[in-house]
Amino acid sequence: MAPGSSVKSSKTSSKKHPAAKQKPGNDRKSKTQALSTEGAFSSVIPLELQQLLLNIFRNSFPERFGSDLTPLLQGVKQHLYNRDFGRAFGREDYLEAYAVRWSPSRALGYLQIFLDIEQYLRKIPNKNHDDAQTFSFESLGTPSGRQKLNITCLGGGAGAEIVALAGFLDLRNRGLRKDREDGGDPQHATPNDLQFTVKSVDIADWDSVVQKLLNSIISPPPLSKYASAAAKAANTAFLDSTLFQTTFHQADLLGISTESLQALVGDAELVTLMFTLNELYTTSRPKTQRFLASLTSTLQPGALLLVVDSPGSYSTVTLNGAEKKYPMHWLLDHTLLGSVHDEESSTVETRHWEKLSTDESRWFRLPDGLKYPIELENMRYQIHLYRRLPQES
């Protein structure tokens, strides 16, 4: 199908990742109450912005929408089904096919998620000040206001998180510029704008995909050679390159050294694990527990950990010789919240995390009117947000 033609799926069910082979079991409710319900903090994202984010994917990989896309996707799916990630993510054309097929819908869904958790981002303590002042977008540009956020996206090579964060930054900076009412043009960057530094970390080599997406975010989009002089003059980059910096880092999270993890997440205010934690648990539950423990000791107080995954993800655990399946979020709570949930035990341990928000099933539904050369789909997910507590609490 030629780029530019539009086929939008109006499907109302999310497709399970081909690699996900777990059977949904009994839905166990977590002891922690859901603090937010579906759409409780939802904001309306302008359709125009959602279209611009889709255009970033289309413009980054224009040659991927030809007749070879279907066989490429079939190849990727087959390797994912066999859990042969080395093969699935071992070829440039496979990576690009994956990125154009699955990342765009997710990027739009993740933008909604970032807006939903924004209230917690606003409360990140400002480490530039001894009294840990409340992070406030409104105070940007004042001596107390944070202007820069460091974000690390673990398992984030395929680009959905990066494009969503670009959209989030654009939306916030436009709002801020308007709110300041300084007579400036809300279209153009100002020295007081919020800045994001994003580190994308993945076991597969997504470097070239990330670079292409970043290039489309910070460079003017391609124009037809017949474009008018006015269109050429108005053709600007989606984001100013000084405001949005992104780097890719290839690393296996299950074998990563403390020093490397420190370099990747030590300064992060937000760490994301989007549709990645269950893959880690499936690869090795003990290694994943160790990785989460390392993450706990590496993250700075106040840092947020955002976990999003397919609802009903289960992992098999052997306890006293008997195999049992536990929901992914139960294992996650068990590791991060530890004895805090063990109400029958009298053990008193340091609390490392507080759970801010949780929902075992939520939907992101695509609005009508979006144009993308291939199918897009709604996304169903579970979401859990934690905040790293100071050591002494």
Ligand X SMILES: C[S@@+](CC[C@H](N)C(=O)[O-])C[C@H]1O[C@@H](n2cnc3c(N)ncnc32)[C@H](O)[C@@H]1O
| Interface ranges with ligand X (CB under 6 A) | 17, 85, 89, 103, 106, 155-158, 160, 202-204, 252-254, 274-276, 279-280
C-alpha to C-alpha distances, 76 to 101, 151, 306, nearest whole angstrom = 11, 28, 27
Least spacing, CB of residue 162 vs ligand X, in Å: 10
- Tokens 């090579």 correspond to 157
- Shortest reach from residue 116's CB to ligand X, in Å: 16
Question: For ligand X, which is the closer residue by CB, 124 or 277?
Answer: 277
Nearer to ligand X, 155 or 327 (CB): 155
CB of 291 to ligand X, least distance (A): 8
What is the SS3 assignment for 127? coil
Residues 146/176, Cβ–Cβ less than 8 Å: no
How near is the Cβ of 281 to ligand X at its closest, in Å? Answer: 10
Helix or strand (DSSP H, E) at 384? strand 379-388
Question: How many of the other CB atoms lie within 10 Å of CB of 98?
Answer: 24
- Nearest residue (beta carbon) to ligand X: 155
Distances in Å between the Cα of 386 and the Cα atoms of 132, 190, 258, 355 are 19, 32, 21, 4
Contact 42, 112 (CB under 8 A): yes
Which 3 state secondary structure label does DSSP give 100?
Answer: helix
Residue closer to ligand X (CB basis): 156 or 327: 156
| Residue 126 or 276 with smaller CB distance to ligand X | 276
What's the closest the beta carbon of residue 160 comes to ligand X, in angstroms? 4
CB of 151 to ligand X, least distance (A): 13
The tokens describing 363, both together, are: 């939907």
Query: Which residue's CB is nearer to ligand X, number 176 or number 379?
Result: 379
Element (H, E) at 80: helix 69-81
Q: Which is nearer to ligand X, 177 or 329 (CB)?
A: 329
